[in-house]
Structure 1
Amino acid sequence: MSGRPEILFPLFGALDTLPGIGPKTAQHLAQLDVETPRDLLFSLPYSVQDRRRRDTIQGLDLPSVATVEVTIGSHRPARNKGGAYRITVRDAQTDFQLVFFHGRSRYLTAQCPEGARRLVSGKLELFDGIAQMVHPDHILPLDEAADIPDFEPVYHLTHGVTQKTMFKAARGALKLLTDLPEWIDPGQVAKEDWPGWKQAMNQAHEPKGLEDLAADAPARARLAYDELFAHQLTLALARQSERKSRGIQSRATGKLQSRVLAALPYRPTGAQQRAIEEITADMASDQRMNRLLQGDVGAGKTLVGLMALLVAVEAGGQGVMMAPTSILAQQHYEGLRPLADEAGVVLELLTGRDKGAERKAKLAALERGDIQILVGTHAVFQQDVHFADLRLAIIDEQHRFGVRQRMELAEKGIGADVLVMTATPIPRSLALAQYGDMDVSVLDEKPPGRKPVKTAVISTERMEEVVSHLRHAIDEGRQCYWVCPLVGESEVMDLTAAEERFKHLRAVLGEGVVGLVHGQMPPAEKDAAMAAFQSGETKVLVATTVIEVGVNVPNATIMVIERAEIFGLAQLHQLRGRVGRGSAQSTCLLMYQPPLSDGGRRRLEVLRESEDGFCIAETDLQMRGAGDMIGTAQSGLPRFRIADLERQAPLMAVAQSDARALLAQDPGLTGARGRAARVLLWLMKQDQAFRLISVG
């Protein structure tokens, strides 16, 4: 498959081959990311204008768009500069006026000679009791009237491009369409009653009414599916080549796992057991595991991770668990240590802080295989770190999408199984777009013994009340997080906000009671502030960045979030999950600055009502859209031209299973449908997919 198939050449030609587009307009269209006829076809109309013909405007409710045949009457040029040029016209029953500002008489008398018949179309309004059409959209001699369809599509425009230009160019692009072989599973096409690709394109650009613009209109749904299918096919190819890379079979004996389970004060939840079974089965196969473990805050991912690491050890190998920061690595280490001791397994911590002789000793032990489980930051990937027999790598990515880390692991030539853990509940459609190359296990139950966190929504005007509530809590020996918002674009502004709040609380609550953590601090100071809070020396921790707060402090039972209305729902849910980790009742106070917009109020209410991260994430997706939800800039989410992840979410899952099924039957995409799918991949500019197509 060396290059683009010939059947697609016309669609990837120059834009200025289309009617009405010169070099200048082509430059303007590039602003809309439209560079070829194909791009123009993928810019579907977003609305439709009813241009059905009428005999007369009599009886119309004005204002309204009307299309009617008229006889041109008298011209009344403007009396003064900037005034209106008026032409009286008559339809089958009544008179009205065409009005032009800055109208040039010579041009208008040539266009509309008195006594001529014309088709006019535009918005009619009543002005001083007279019906007027100001700057009609169309004035055509009757022999050209067929140029206006009954329903005219309305396109997104950019500076220097008119509806007329877009309409004409799109019509030209539609003429380039050829019938392409069908790449969608025939059963799926039949079930949804979808048109073929060419027909769908034609229908999408020739809507017969508003219902044709709906996301579920057959032509639109089909074109959206094409995009999702091409995306999932690329991910499935990545998965296929990833799985072909040598996997290691690690078979569990259950010897170590059973010791840990016996030492636990409770039984794992059904969801945890299911996830452990899925992971154990993956590790036993000779294909490389690439699994995502998605669990809500407090759903017990750590236990599942430990069980997976024990499978590696039971099979005679080693496991590694990586966290994004030293603090989180330290915390994993402390959480896992008592359990590893129960199992009689050697667990060690390696971070960038290990220096000199100590580091050398750890590295030697690791290479000999004396260390069975290593916990660390990305420092575990440095050149001088060698494992005796690495079987499993767990990547814990608090808020950080680990596509890069996953790739790095693969590039290290480590055939180890990979488990990515994320505490961000992502709605299924987004999880598939983001992690479509992975298999997903979901933890959707909470372990016993956790009390729900009480959530209250309070205006910032009641700040003093909140602070005195805090004072009582501190007297009772409890601790509190106080999160300041990221107000400005600059961290410096955020800093001043946090410092002001810090000074204010320190003044009220006393010296040495309040700590501060922000993004600008040197790591050592940050660690010191965190440690002081963890040990209970400081009672209140003021923090700007959410990220630092991944710490587990069971004694912290209050979370105050200032300006909660400007945080994302998923983010607020994450923050709230930092309290309620001990047995005491915990509270989360969402402070907002009045007045609150309707959207803002609804978002905060969702949080007050629900503790279910997945349900919150679905709401977030509906309210804010996909890009916003995880910050498109860093989310690695694909940008789709037609598909709408919010409204067409169910199609994503179908596209994934269809793509995987096609590859299972035809790994090299050489069969009839496989070759059709190659055309689709070229059409969707997924050329990177071709590097992944298996040669065998």
Structure 2
Amino acid sequence: MAGDREGLSPPRGRPPVLFPLFAAADTLPGVGAKAAESFAGLGISRPRDVLFHLPSAGISRRAVARLADLRPPETATVTVTVQRHIAPAQRGRPWRVVCTDGTGDLTLVFFHARQHWIESQLPLGQPCVVSGKVELFDGLAQMVHPDHILRPGDPPPPAFEPVYPLAGTLTQRTVARAAAAAIDRAPALPDWIDPALKSREGWPDWTTALAAAHAPTGPQDLSLRAPARTRLAYDELFAHQMTLALVRRDRRRAAGRASVGDGRLRAQVLAALPWPPTAAQRRAVEEIAADMASPHRMNRLLQGDVGSGKTLVALLSLLIAVEAGGQGVLMAPTEILARQHLAALAPLADAAGVRVALLTGRDRGEGRDQVLADLAAGLIHILVGTHAVFQPGVVFDDLRLAVIDEQHRFGVAQRLELGAKGDRPDMLVMTATPIPRSLALAQFGDMDLSVLDEKPPGRQPIVTTALPDGRMDDVVARLDAALTRNARAYWVCPLVEESEAVDLTAAEARFQALRARFGDRVRLVHGQMPPEARDAAMADFAAGRAQLLVATTVIEVGVNVPEATIMVIERAESFGLAQLHQLRGRVGRGTASSSCLLLYHEPLSEAGRRRLQILRDSDDGFRIAEEDLAMRGAGDVIGTAQSGLPRFRVADLERQADLMAMARQDARALLETDPQLASDRGRAVRTLLWLMEQDRALRLMSAG
């Protein structure tokens, strides 16, 4: 484990002071087997989980002195006397209890109530306090299923009552009672937050924050900016960032090999470029070169928008490994993408006299054997391929740098297998999907980050328009005119085959329709085709033997045909924002002006309309990613299952990016000044890691 060697992992056993919070949920009052099962549906199995299950809303209750002062509809608390019970006249009808206070009447309505319960809760002639929503029914005030029935001497319900998310058979009363008991169990703990930060932000102590978050006095206390909630969110984010900082430090301390290039090969490639690299590309290469020259293993994420020039940065980085006397490998998730990388790298590598080869799962026979033999002999300097590059039998002479493209499509185990192919090679991970800063810090906080936020010169802006699919004939006619002028175009559909269950256009059907109109100029590409057929269609399109490529989202990433200038996306409203941006990025890659047409099916939902509007307004992938995050949430944007994105109970990644950045800075600063976590604050942080269950994350992430 990361910390075992350094003596800075959380204690081997959970601190006894936390034991009461990690008991079973059914040890809380009012939580029986059924309630425990319902709590489990909310991901709650212990008192500790209940502490962080905060109210999501609140009910304002007005204390009303006289029934005559009620203003239906409103939620009110009133004192009344029970006048009479009216039993249901027939099955399925409600019990009615008529109450009065001399200034007016109020009818309490109960469905499925038992006579014994009604008579015991609301005895005839007795005064009682009832609270709930009062509405008018046939001109008479009534309250259906009061929230509270109390005796006049009982404590009244609060003026603002918290409302918790529920599941199964849970009631508000059950959750509130469990929360109160869990708060009673919460021990006073030494504070893990930096005192200066806590004072500056005006945050309360941990136990005070818990009590306040569960007892809001008004809507302002439910806000993300409420001091109690902000402090609890920060605790979560800080614990997560501490874990990432520990893992990052462990990786940085892991012995690597210094790979120092002399710049000779890079200079030859740069001289062969039609225009100079952007400042962002130069900065990224400098950062990577510095990492590779250090004695520690590099673990860096290169993040760039569509068309920002990641491939050039990858090549220049791989050339550092070659200049240092070693080899590099570039692994892509699909064969199409691997071949695209090869096509982009080979001419530039040739200019520097560097040999590049391809290896995919489809390669067989003598050709494959020759590639493997040359690779092992060091005759191949850069290998490009799919997951085939880390299979048994693939041996490098001296692997110095592994570059992984679209890393989220590869698991941790696959990255480790690739890393094991060399003697402690450096690792560069690339993603073409711009990730909002808060998500990048949450998901990749253990990595160093390089961002490409400029586009190379010569790239033309893409004109984006949206049309209803009812104008399909006009679209096809305009496409006909463009193809006559030798244009090349993509036509993207959301499905491969027609489906009765889903009302979306299928690529197969659209291909047949366009083929009938344009003949042999049309090709089809989708993920279910045999790789040979897919490659042949792509090759025809890239070479100009075909002018129109009908495809699914298999072309979303990496496909690079600079001559393609038209992108039609059918049923555009069914795609996510980031996906639409990636698809649009398949055009505008050459020097000719390009266009993207978003075809939508009416009526458009409000969310669909907003997505298309954002695409028309902006081509900035990072702004689009932020909008996507705001609209869809963190898990949907990245894909929680594959990303390992943490699930926070209190913190909101979409709206608390500033807190995440603050937590990251704080965690790194603490490890600089207290590397053993041995100070008073360091020991408090160890307790926090146990409380937030980051002990498990430390063990898991040290393998990544």
**Which residue in 1 is equivalent to 2:268?**
259
Alpha carbons of structure 1 residues 61 and 636: separation in structure 2 relative to 1, 3 Å: same
What residue is the counterpart of 2:3 in the other structure?
A: none
Pairing 1:209-358 to 2, within 5 Å after superposition: 209-358=218-367
Q: Which residue of 1 aligns with 2:458?
A: 449
In structure 2, relative to structure 1, the CA distance for the partners of 1:205 and 1:74 (3 Å cut) is same
Which of 12, 36, 51 is residue 61 of structure 2 equivalent to? 51
Structure 1 position 360 matched with structure 2 position 369? yes
Structure-2 residue corresponding to 1:571: 579
How far apart are residue 494 of structure 1 and its match? 9.7
State TM-score, norm by structure 2: 0.93
Q: Aligned pair in 2 of structure 1 residues 487, 137: CA closer, same or farther (>3 Å)?
A: farther
Matches within 5 A, 1:158-177: 158-177=167-186
Deviation at 1:459, TM superposition (A): 0.7
Contact 2:496 2:507 in 1 (8 A): no
- 1:422 is aligned to 2:431: yes
Q: What percent identity do the matched residue pairs reach?
A: 62
SS of alignment partner, residue 168 of structure 2? coil
Q: Give the Cα separation in 1 of the matches to 2:656 and 2:498.
A: 33
What is the distance in 2 between the residues matched to 1:135 and 1:350?
A: 70
Structure 2 letter corresponding to 1:400: R
Q: Which residue of 1 aligns with 2:118?
A: 108
Distance 1:52 1:163 in 2: 19
Deviations 1:545-603 (A, max 9, x none): 33466321122111110000010010000000001112211111100001111221111
> Structure 2: how far apart are the matches of 1:557 and 1:233?
47
Distance of 1:288 and 1:549 partners within structure 2: 28
Larger deviation: 521-530 or 343-352? Answer: 343-352
**Is 1:614 the equivalent of 2:607?**
no
1:115-134 equivalences in 2 (<5 Å): 115-134=125-144
Any residues of structure 2 matched to 1:373-452 within 5 Å, and which? 373-397=382-406, 400=409, 403-410=412-419, 414-452=423-461
1:491 Cα deviation after fit:
12
What count of residue pairs does the alignment treat as equivalent?
692
Paired with 2:411 and 2:117, the residues of 1 have a C-alpha distance of 63
Distance 1:621 1:483, change over 3 A: same
> Superposed, which structure 2 residues align to 1:127-166 within 5 Å?
127-146=137-156, 148-166=157-175
Residue 141 of structure 1 aligns to which amino acid in structure 2?
Answer: R
Cα deviation for residue 215 of structure 1 reads 1.0
Of 63, 71, 93, the match for 2:81:
71
Q: 1:476 to 1:402 in 2, by over 3 A?
A: farther
Structure 2: runs of 5+ lacking an equivalent: 1-10
Please give the alpha-carbon distance, in whole angstroms, between the structure 2 residues aligned to 1:361 and 1:270: 40
Q: Is this contact kept in 2: 1:482–1:542, CA < 8 A? A: yes
* Aligned-partner Cα distance in 1 for 2:303–2:498: 31
Distance 1:469 1:81 in 2: 67
- Answering whether residue 207 of structure 2 is matched by residue 198 of structure 1, we say yes
**Given the alignment, which residue of 53, 58, 72 partners 1:62?**
72
Q: Which moved more, 1:164-173 or 1:685-694?
A: 685-694
- Which whole-Å CA distance do the structure 2 matches of 1:133 and 1:684 have between them? 43
Q: Work out whether 1:537 is the aligned partner of 2:545.
A: yes
Instruction: Measure the CA separation in 1 of the matches of 2:598 and 2:244.
Output: 39
TM-score by length of 1: 0.94
Matched, 1:641 2:644: no
For residues 531-552 of structure 1, what are the alpha-carbon distances to aligned partners after superposition, in whole Å with 9 as ceiling and x for unaligned? 1212211211111233466321
Shift in Å, 1:16: 1.8
CA contact (8 A) 1:668 1:693 kept: no
- Would you say 1:583 and 2:571 are equivalent positions? no
The one-letter code sitting in structure 2 at the alignment partner of 1:88 is: V
Kindly indicate whether the alpha-carbon contact (under 8 Å) linking 2:556 and 2:582 is maintained by their aligned counterparts in 1: no
**What SS does the aligned partner of 1:503 have?**
helix
Which of 484, 501, 509 matches 1:500?
509
8 Å contact from structure 1 (residues 11, 36) kept in 2? yes
| 2:655 equivalent to 1:651 | no
Q: Which amino acid aligns with 2:51?
A: L
Match of 2:603 among 595, 608, 611: 595
Q: Summarize deviations over 1:125-174 as a string: whole Å, max 9, x none.
A: 1122221122211111133335x333321111112111111111111111
1:403 and 1:459 mapped to 2: Cα distance? 43
Secondary structure in 1 matching 2:424: coil
Residue 25 (structure 1) aligned with residue 35 (structure 2): yes
3-state SS, counterpart of residue 144 of structure 1: coil
Query: Which runs of no fewer than 5 residues in structure 1 stay unpaired?
Result: none
The equivalent of 2:669 in structure 1 is 661
**CA distance in structure 2 between the aligned counterparts of 1:410 and 1:494, rounded to whole angstroms:** 44
Which residue number corresponds to residue 631 of structure 1? Answer: 639
The one-letter code matched in structure 2 to 1:475 is: T
> 2:688 is matched with which residue: 676, 680, 692?
680
What is residue 107 of structure 2 aligned with on the other side? 97
Tell me the distance in 2 between the aligned counterparts of 1:404 and 1:693: 12
- Compared CA separation, residues 31 and 217, structure 1 to 2 (3 A): same
